[in-house]
Each structure stands twice: as C-alpha cells, then as structure tokens.
Structure 1
Amino acid sequence: MIFLIIDNIKFIILAVFIIIIIIIASSIYFFSTKQKIIRILSKLPIKQFGSLKANEFSRVKGKALHIKEPLVAPFSKRKCVFYSIKIEQKKSNGKSSHWKTLVKEEQIQDFFLEKNGDYVMVKPKQNPKNYMSHLVIDKKVSSGTFNDASQEFEQLLKNYNIKSTGFLGFNKQIRYTEGIIEIGEEITVAGIAKWKNLKEPIKGFNYSKIVELESSEKQKLIITDLPNIKSKKRL
C-alpha cells in the first residue's frame, strides 16, 4: 500500500513537471517575436500602395530597394538594406552545455518598397528602436572539433576579434547565422501611412511627395521577409 502511494506521488510529480515544461515551451513560442508578427499581420489585409489611407496602420508587400549605398552582409557579402547576424560558441559545464552569444548585430537603413511602379518609403530607427522584425535565416556556417573554419569564416571571426581555436589549438564549436533583406527581395512591411514632402531629391524618384510608413508610441513598424502569412482578402 505504501509503495503504491509513493508510486502515485512520483507519477503526480512527474506529470506536474511535464505540464510545467509544456506551459513554458508554449509560452516562449507564443510570445516570440516571430509569432507576434504573424498574429498582427494576419489581422491586416494586404493593401495596394495607391489605396493607403493617411494615419491608418496598413500592411503592404513589395520589393526592397536601397535609397543610398546599400549595406553589405558580413559573411555572404550580398548587398542589402537590412541584416541581422549572430555568432555563438558552445560552452560546456560538466554534463551540461549551452550556446553563448558572442556577437549579436543588426544593421538597417532607410529603404523603398516598390510595387508595379509605385513606391513607399520606410525609415526604421535603431536608437530608439521603432520597429519589430523577423528575418528568415539565409546563411548558416559553423566550425567544431572535426570541422575547421573555412577561410571565409575565419576572416569573419577575425573581423569580430574571435579566435576559432583554443589554447591547445583545438577547434572551438562556433556557429554563425545571417538573415538579410536583399536588394530586390519581396518583403512585408506594416506601419502608419503618412504623406511626406521630400526635403531633398532622391535619385531615381521623380516625385516631391511620397507615402512613408511610420511607427507610433503604441505601434512599431513591422518588417519581415516571412513568406505566405495568411491575411484577409487583398484590397
């Protein structure tokens, strides 16, 4: 009888532990930036540029085009208007291990969205940050015990003052991820539409006024290259 009670207690403890793990994992997934963006965008119809209304939070899709000299992605060397990278090293502590972030870098610039010859302007700011974003990982590269860092990866690590080998010459376990918005890539942006007078002419743009997508105190810009986010019917 005593053994049966003990077994039941162990089962209950295990069940509670599993439920807690499931709740934590579900919460992390639900409240992730990616899922927040998908939930917000799924409530918005995709609007044509010509139907944007002033002061309305709207969602549009178009090709990203640079306004000034584009950024260059650190590893792939592709021209872009936005890149986000992360460099991590695997650290071990006894029986457990984890990935420690060594570098987390994000660079973004003002850019156009173009669709059927129409344009809108997007002016993200990093300080203070006025946008929420999620970029699909375009490039992954790693090194490890039996995997030497390539010449290109070695140079990248050197640029960030990171050594690929340890004190005894063994390879460190390092991984790199890179997401970018490439010039000409179709992306989704949501923001509050505002008509703006251009103070200075922009090369390749022949109009004095343009719609700019902005943020507000309550709603940040949303920028993503996630494909196929379901929404209401196209307007």
Structure 2
Amino acid sequence: MPVPIFALAAAAIAGVGLSYALSTDARTRRALKKRPVTPIRGLREGELVRVRGRVLAGERVLEAPLSHRASVYYLATVDQETGRNHWREVAREERYVEFALDDGTGRIEVIMSVPRVAVVSDHHTRSGSFDDASEVEEAFLRRHGLKSTNLIGLNIAIRYDEGTIEPGEEVTAVGLVRAEIRDGQRVLVLDAPDDGPLLLSDDPRAVHG
C-alpha cells in the first residue's frame, strides 16, 4: 500500500508563529517525558504508550527542501526581518511519511495521520545585504510565492531554518497501539489516539527524558 505524503504550507501572523511553535514544542516535550518508555516487544493492542527507538525508512522517503537531507519528517520555515531585531514568519512547510521504529526488542510502524512533532531545528542560513539568496533558497521562496528582493531589487533580510527526522535517528513517540493486517500479516502500529495527536520528537531532552 503506498504511503501518503502530507503537506502543510502556510503564512503566519507576525510575531505569533515562532512563540506558538516554541510553546507547542515545550508542551510536546513535557508530555513525552511524563510517560515511561515501554519496550516495543511488550506492547499490547489498545494501550497508550511511549516508545523510543531508531527510525527505519518505509516505502517513501522525503528530501528536505533546504538541506536536501533524506528524512521521514521535516519542518522548514522562512522569517523576514521587519525592523531592527524583529522577524516575521512568512512561510512554513511541514511534510511527513510513515516509518518504523526499532528499539532492539521489536519493531512498530508509526502512522503519521495526526502528528505533533517537536523537531530539532539544526539547519540555518540567511540571505540579505551583500548575501544573495542561493538557488535552493530562491526555489523554496518561489514555491511559497515569495521573493528575496524588494520592489526596487534590493535584498530582503531573510533567515531560513529547517529541522528533520532522518533514518537511523533516535526518537521517542507517544501514541495508541493498534493492529493492522498488512500483506496478510498482523502488525502493530502506533497511531494518534482518538482524543489527540501522536507525539513525536528527536530532541534529546525528550528522547532521554
């Protein structure tokens, strides 16, 4: 069965996007750390559990738009300077695909139907005065209907940030254990519970918390 790719791309209100993202990430990390880790081998259908393991790529792998890293999840954002030390988020792109987790005791498929992800943003670049946007940055801006220059052709101060979850990376997740029949076999999957999102993070503070 082909794995769907989900996408989100939106402009945010000035000053709100970053603070909201930071507070959401903090809540996600706290929620993950509250629950003890359960070995995958001991999981039972119907349980709400936290697991920790290495990412195994599924049928589809994404290419992150700014760093070109292979990933199962990425979040890329663009902020534009609106005044001295003031920035406004003008583009946000989040994509994800299904993957599996292996903790050494077993393996479970992770269904990214309704995820809330606290990803480490570790790729940062800028463009602006005396620093033209690269081809990669220009392509990303165009995809979101943006330009790196103003009406008179001068460079706009822009910063680009990206976080990814990559195959082989250690992550932790909280979700509901379900059973599915795939290719005639019963497999366990981790999915969002009925009353909330699946929680996921590669932040060491959450992974080892």
Q: Does the 8 A contact of 1:135 with 1:225 survive in 2?
A: yes
**CA-atom RMSD in angstroms:** 2.2
The structure with the largest helix share of the pair is 1
Give deviations 1:177-222, integer Å, cap 9, x for gaps: 1111111111111111122221x37xxxxxx222111222323210
Amino acid at match of 2:130: F
CA separation in 1, counterparts of 2:44 and 2:168? 25
Percent identity of equivalent pairs: 31
Give the one of 154, 157, 163 matched to 2:138.
154
Q: Flag structure 1 segments of 5+ consecutive residues without an equivalent.
A: 1-27, 202-207
> Which residue number in structure 2 is paired with residue 51 of structure 1?
42
2:169 — aligned with what?
185
How far apart are residue 176 of structure 1 and its match?
0.8
> Quick one: distance in 2 between partners of 1:163 and 1:219?
37
TM-score by length of 2: 0.81
Aligned: 1:214 with 2:191 = yes
Give the C-alpha shift of residue 39 in structure 1.
2.0
1:225 aligned partner: 202
Aligned residues: 189
Q: Is the 8 A contact 1:119 1:210 kept in 2?
A: no
Q: 5+ unaligned residues in a row in structure 2: which ranges?
A: 1-18
Distance 1:40 1:97 in 2: 32
- Match in the other structure for 1:39: 30
| Kept after mapping to 2: 8 A contact 1:131/1:221 | yes
Q: Deviations along 1:32-75, whole A, 9 cap, x unmatched? A: 11221222122211111111122111111111122112011001
Please identify which structure carries the higher strand content: 2
Specify the alignment match of 2:91 in structure 1: 103
Bigger radius of gyration: 1
Render the CA deviation track for 1:117-171: whole Å, top value 9, x for unaligned: 621011112xxxx221111002111112233323433343344442212222221
Alpha-carbon deviation of 1:224? Answer: 0.8
Q: Could you say what secondary structure the match of 1:192 adopts?
A: strand
